[in-house]
Structure 1
């Protein structure tokens, strides 16, 4: 009887470290949740930045979050809805009281559970001019080709050695390349 109790006590002490590790692992994984990521933002306007123009925002980021956009000169936060996995969209009609300019900063925020990330963006050049289209028309020779979206992931600071990540969504089966004028030309995309 004493030998049996001794064996059970020895087994308990041998298994105690393994049980401690198994109990501690879920707590560690919960404490190390990933921070949500904002990958890109697009903004378009149907009539420049004048009163009555509709601004359309699209953000790509971590799925199942809550996204919003703040623009200097607009006194309210624009809430975006997730329309497909990781793609958030929303729109806002500029009011007469709003003071939006082409150089007004845009702040995108993505919240996932108790974690929040934010990134600063700016309006595309020429968006304030209502006569400038937000996307150039497709060339006649490339009628079968289509570019749906071309984006660059935000970086904290553009400096030598900073990694830029470009994404192009378009017609399948094509080849793509891009230029950064004055820096590099004909960079092939996979």
Structure 2
């Protein structure tokens, strides 16, 4: 090997090392990415806003509604003075919690009663105290007032005559200008955007579809976002232009009738036609001049009151005062007689319509039957369907109780909420009276 070839080989080795070093020096330096703070430690809980819907008074039966804006996916509980502790709040939107409390007769709640919310997640806790009164004052909001506060001053809907497919609902919000505003109809539409038609005035529209199920008293909420703040307001009243007062139907014992027992269960079914529905908190029941509301079972559709002891022979009077969600006031009064008790008839239950194993259309289903007069009849409806390509579907769609009238008649109404042809509705009837019980099973098939 000559000297020239050795030098050439050495030169190539040195050149290769120099190039490698140069590449290493000019290559970007790799750094370890820092861990997100959420990996190192859970973010601290925060409560940004705590407010209450104002009420006209703090009498028994008044529903208090509280809203909290805070860290999402936590557990929130309310404490109202010494009257209520650990009232659970539900997270209705991410980071927005809502809680309800109905004032009882034994409660001592005033405008200055301290109300606190506690937020918990893991081993973290945050608390806040309500910094506003519970009762509304005579001070009204000026919709045209110039303010930087993020607020919803009014949330309304244009009244309609009928709630049916094709009906257009028009919602309006007055609040902070140049904000993002939306409305939600629970179970129907979520966060539908509203347009700012004038400074601080927003309008949103929704057309009712054929498959929509909008029950009486559906919760409708407006949401306003301005910068980093969010406020909400719940729509008061109903959607329908309701001017007719509610009534009480299917009275038991019937008016001017003779009770079949000396200890009848007094009951009735509320009827508001195509209106907004009855407000159960407004119902007041008097029996023979005495207020028995506290001892009665009251829902949005009916009431019943079990007399605590046997009645002496004579005439007795029942009075029921009630309001619908539109504020219309109704009253029903009737009287019945009690005579010497006669021998009780055996308990029975009979379904008159629709026929067992018959087909039914989509929509409202009316079930009629007979049982012993005064019997308490319950109906449990389970819907089950199987669609090709999908898993089987099963859901409880109805559970309610009524009392058979003086002639033993009873009626139930429920919605066939599943639109699949062939859906099977399994109906379980149960009648009870004087420690006796009878059952009947029925099957209906959807067209």
Using the size of structure 2 for normalisation, the TM-score is: 0.25
CA 1:172 to 1:68, structure 2 compared with 1: closer, same or farther past 3 Å? farther
Which one has the largest radius of gyration? 2
Confirm whether residue 122 of structure 1 aligns to residue 149 of structure 2. Answer: no
Counterpart contact for 1:54–1:91, Cα < 8 Å: yes
> Which residue of structure 2 aligns with residue 112 of structure 1?
121
Task: State the distance in 2 between where 1:33 and 1:48 align.
Answer: 42
Instruction: Count residues in correspondence.
Output: 135
Q: 1:94 aligns with which of 80, 103, 112?
A: 103
Gaps of 5+ in 1: 1-20, 151-166, 177-188
Q: Which has the higher strand share?
A: 2
> Which residue of structure 2 aligns with residue 44 of structure 1?
53
CA 1:29 to 1:36, structure 2 compared with 1: closer, same or farther past 3 Å? closer
CA shift for structure 1 position 136: 6.2
CA 1:70 to 1:60, structure 2 compared with 1: closer, same or farther past 3 Å? same
Counterpart contact for 2:60–2:105, Cα < 8 Å: yes
Structure with bigger RCO (C-alpha 8 Å, 6+ apart)? 1
Confirm whether residue 76 of structure 1 aligns to residue 85 of structure 2. Answer: yes
Counterpart contact for 2:58–2:135, Cα < 8 Å: no
Runs of 4+, deviation exceeding 6 Å: 131-136
Q: Which has the higher helix share?
A: 1
Deviations 1:66-125 (A, max 9, x none): 111111131322110111111111201001111111011111111122211111113436
> Which residue of structure 2 aligns with residue 146 of structure 1?
173
Q: 1:65 aligns with which of 74, 93, 103?
A: 74
Deviations 1:24-83 (A, max 9, x none): x69x86552211111112212555211110001111111111111111131322110111
Using the size of structure 1 for normalisation, the TM-score is: 0.54
Gaps of 5+ in 2: 1-31, 142-151, 156-169, 183-193, 201-225, 228-447
CA 1:98 to 1:123, structure 2 compared with 1: closer, same or farther past 3 Å? farther
